[in-house]
Amino acid sequence: MISVEVFSDVVCPWCFIGKRNLEKALKSLDTSEQKYKNIKINWRSFQLNPQLPIQGIARSDYTATKFGGTERAAQFYERISGAATEVGLDLNFDKIVTQPNSSRMHALVYAAESVQKDHQLVEDLFKAFFIDAVDLTKRDNVSSIAQSIGLKKTLIDSVFDDDLFMDRITEDIQQSAKIGIQGVPFFIINQKIGLSGAQPPESIVKAIKQLI
């Protein structure tokens, strides 16, 4: 089996782009060959902004602090939008009103992993935030997304109320610090090869074939 650990943040646009590149890379492999049939993707949490309050902040305050103003933020997001378009994504940065703390969403991804729905939840959270501009600081909104993929409300409530899976988030943060990860997405293939950034599909394929 080939394992691909993906350190990612569900509120990181480059991670959404990186997910599309990873999907394209996997599709390009000849799955009729036995060596490519067992590739396991594991989503691991990374927070770009762990300092944000759990209730989140206004997007305007976030961009002003992170980029030094809306004008510089617009330039930054224009470059990302161009890269997103190349992989078929139309991101709506201008419609985002709030910037959430993503810790509970990462915990929900682990909850979804326990029922093999983590890939779908990651995708739906990306879409909700960057395409539909859903306010992910609202518990009801996040809960609704999780329920839509089949997670039980009791499990979701345990994530919010009882800190379920938060220990896994802590472990991921510690591991990423030990490895020296400073930005995401970051791909680790079979614990041997690390790829930083939204790598093109060709680079991911090359790394997988190199291991095999």
Q: What is the count of structural domains for the chain?
A: 1
pLDDT 10s digits, 153-186: 999 999 999 999 999 999 999 999 999 999 999 9
Residue 33 has pLDDT above 90, yes or no: no
pLDDT of 12 higher than 80: yes
More confident residue, 74 or 16: 16
| CATH code assigned at 39 | 3.40.30.10
Q: How confident is the model at residue 32 (pLDDT cuts 50, 70, 90)?
A: low
Of the candidates 2, 9, 203, 7, the residue with the CA atom closest to the CA atom of residue 105: 9
The yes-or-no verdict on residue 202 having pLDDT over 80 is yes
Using alpha carbons only, what angle is made at residue 167 by residues 162 and 168, rounded to the nearest 5 degrees?
Answer: 120
172 against 38, higher pLDDT: 172
Taking all residues of the chain, what is their mean pLDDT, rounded to a whole number? 95
Which is more confidently placed, 2 or 30? 2
Give me the pLDDT at residue 71, please: 84
The domain in which residue 177 lies consists of 2-211
**Rounded CA gap, 99 and 50, in Å?**
12
Give the Cα separation of 13 and 17 in Å (integer).
6
Region 64-88: mean pLDDT is: 91
Look up the pTM and report it: 0.95
From CA 99, how far away is CA 164, in angstroms rounded?
Answer: 22
